[in-house]
Amino acid sequence: MKNKVLRARVHALFVPSLLVALCLLLCPAASGQQTASNQNDKSSEAGTATNDRAESAAQSAPSPALTDYKGIRIGMSANDVRAKVDHLKEKSDAFDFFAFSESETAQVYYDAQGKVTAVSVVYSGDDAPKPEAVLGEALEAKPDGSMYALNRYPTAGYWVAYSRTAGKNPITTVTMQKMQ
């Protein structure tokens, strides 16, 4: 009976977090990609000025507060992830699913070369890290208690998102993903 309850909770957390992660993976704005029409509209002179400003901003850009999750880093090989972290529940070439407890699960996504491209962690209840530990800054909760922020770190090559739902038992998703 306990296994059925745990399996139901894992699936209840896994499906919504997978949908969030897929939306984030496919959303060009979240991953820092530009559309082809935006790229074609820029003149070479404006592009050079923009690149100069971007390089200057990147040099003074803050470092991410979240650099790894349980030792898992963006760019790490799938074999290294599996050797470093226990609690593997589902394994594939595209992603691994880990269940650390009833209130903490993680999905690690891989590219075609087997390198980590994204890590998405789902916490249920109050066991989630605070935004300061993830983003390096406090977030103001909305009146219903929910929170959301996405910070891009071009020099590190990835972005970090923090999302918490409203309610007495919030679900918090922490995602870091390689920028394209």
> Per-domain residue ranges for the chain?
2-30+66-178
| Burial class of residue 57 in the structure, from the number of CB atoms within 10 Å of its CB (0-12 exposed, 13-18 middle, 19+ buried) | exposed
Both tokens assigned to 61: 């850009």
pLDDT tens track, the chain, 180 positions: 544 544 444 444 444 444 444 344 434 444 444 333 333 443 444 444 445 555 555 456 689 999 999 999 999 999 999 999 999 999 999 999 999 999 999 999 999 999 999 999 999 998 899 999 999 999 999 999 999 999 999 999 999 999 999 999 999 999 999 998
**CA neighbor of 65 nearest in space, from 141, 149, 146:** 149
Beta bridge partners, 176, equal: 119, 160
Query: How many Cβ atoms from other residues are within 10 Å of residue 165's Cβ?
Result: 16
Write out the E strands in 86-134.
88-91, 95-101, 104-110, 116-124
**CA neighbor of 160 nearest in space, from 128, 136, 125:** 136
Query: How many Cβ atoms from other residues are within 10 Å of residue 104's Cβ?
Result: 19
Both tokens assigned to 161: 């998102």
CA distance 143 to 140: 9
This prediction's pTM: 0.70
CA distance 41 to 100: 48
Helices of type H across the chain: 2-26, 28-31, 36-41, 44-60, 78-84, 131-135
CA R_g for the chain: 18
Helices of type H across 43-102: 44-60, 78-84
